[in-house]
Amino acid sequence: MVILNRPLRLVVATFLACLPLVSFANQEIDSAKVNLENSHAVVAEGHHEGGHAEPTDVKSKIKAFVSHHVLDSHDFSFTQDDETGESWGFPLPIILLDEGLHMFSSAKFHHGKEVAESNGKYYVINHHDGKIYRTDASGTITENEETGFPSNVRPIDFSITKTVVSILGAALLMLFLFSSLAKSYSKNKGIASGPGRIFEPIVLYIRDEIAIPNIGEKKYKNYMSYLLTIFFFVLFLNIFGLTPLGINATGNLTITFSLAFLTFLITNLTANKNYWGHIFWMPGVPKPMRIILAPIELLGIFIKPFSLMIRLYANIFAGHIVLMSIIGLMFIFKSWIGSSLSFGLSFLLSILEILVAFLQAYIFTMLSALYFGSAVEEHHHEEGH
């Protein structure tokens, strides 16, 4: 009853604050135990299967774990036991376009350890970038001397990866939450009820504080669906990234690129005469200046969504790296003082990450609204300039 009397926000915030702690702690403890035991085992054994060098000491193991976490992967594993090579999770479907369609389960790769064969072609997951390359039967990957990237042929990869599953999950969750919220209005005489109810204030906030001030009373309605969807999509994926699922969708450049790409498309496809006028023939400045300004403004069209893409990607990516590195420090220190210090630090950082999750979703939506607003703004040159 006491909890019920507290403000809902507080309860939700507390819940969210606790989530990442439980999650990362568990995951890391598992792998830590494994790491400790395994490092001895590896040292004793002195060799391991596979062509590439696997990390042996705790430090580089943590580094490898962190850098693999932030990449997309072809199977959904929650945790794994390095000693037995056993992994808890589930495989995902692989769909490749390489002179024909190849569809098979990612279980064939055995978590990147084996070469998968499909329709007479051999594929392997490169350990470094988590991408699928076509190889020969033994799975050799030749690296380009200059760039260091593999020079093998890359098939077009339409696989349902971990990130695709995550965005699909977020999409389904949003569909469920918001359609139930929408239904609750008609059922409950215009007052929201049910689990989606906590989002109503946010919906109103986006309408009243983001859409209307930036786009204007007249045209904001056209953009509301996009702004609301993108806000909750980014927010949910950011929050998912802080849960034990180990998802990093908004810290993936492709995802942020496609979001920014949509903002770019909508901005430029709905833009009016004034917008283009301001870009190619800036009113109110001397003619020579207009010629200089035009390429700069034209560049601005692309820089705006580019900054959106990089901002979200870098914030979430960096947050994950820093948070996981500090959690990893616990297992490097292995002392009461050092480990508890880094635990405290990671606790604080987790809270900060929750703030960042909301903030980045807000900023993305806010700036999108700002760009839409500039695209449909009606100027009165006689008065303004």
Give the residues lining the site for other proteins (CB under 8 A).
Answer: 72, 95, 129, 131, 147, 149, 156-161, 163-164, 167-168, 171, 174-175, 178-179, 181-183, 185-186, 190-192, 200, 203-204, 207, 221, 224-226, 228-229, 233, 252-255, 257-259, 261-262
Q: What does the alpha-carbon distance between residue 277 and residue 52 come to, in Å, rounded to a whole number?
A: 56
Of 130, 368, 339, 374, the C-alpha closest to 262 is: 368
Spell out the residues 6+ positions from residue 361 whose beta carbon is closer than 8 angstroms to its own. Answer: 231, 232, 234, 235, 238
CB of 263 to other proteins, least distance (A): 11
Are the beta carbons of 108 and 119 closer than 8 angstroms?
A: no
Are the beta carbons of 238 and 166 closer than 8 angstroms?
A: no
Q: Which helix (H) or strand (E) holds 237?
A: helix 220-240
Of 264, 275, 271, 270, the C-alpha closest to 297 is: 275
CB of 137 to other proteins, least distance (A): 25
CB of 353 to other proteins, least distance (A): 21
CB of 135 to other proteins, least distance (A): 19
CB of 234 to other proteins, least distance (A): 11
Choice between 262 and 332, CB closer to other proteins: 262
Are the beta carbons of 88 and 80 closer than 8 angstroms?
A: yes
Choice between 181 and 282, CB closer to other proteins: 181
CB of 171 to other proteins, least distance (A): 5
* Cβ neighbours, 10 Å, residue 55: 15
Choice between 161 and 214, CB closer to other proteins: 161
Q: What does the alpha-carbon distance between residue 209 and residue 217 come to, in Å, rounded to a whole number?
A: 12
162: which 2 tokens? Answer: 């971990």
Choice between 190 and 286, CB closer to other proteins: 190
Q: What does the alpha-carbon distance between residue 267 and residue 219 come to, in Å, rounded to a whole number?
A: 13
Choice between 28 and 72, CB closer to other proteins: 72
Choice between 77 and 229, CB closer to other proteins: 229
Choice between 261 and 280, CB closer to other proteins: 261
Choice between 21 and 71, CB closer to other proteins: 71
Of 174, 178, 176, the C-alpha closest to 237 is: 174
CB of 253 to other proteins, least distance (A): 4
Of 339, 308, 305, 343, the C-alpha closest to 323 is: 343
Choice between 156 and 337, CB closer to other proteins: 156
CB of 338 to other proteins, least distance (A): 32
Sign, CA torsion 153/159/161/164: positive
CB of 157 to other proteins, least distance (A): 4
Sign, CA torsion 149/153/158/160: negative
Type of residue numbered 140: T
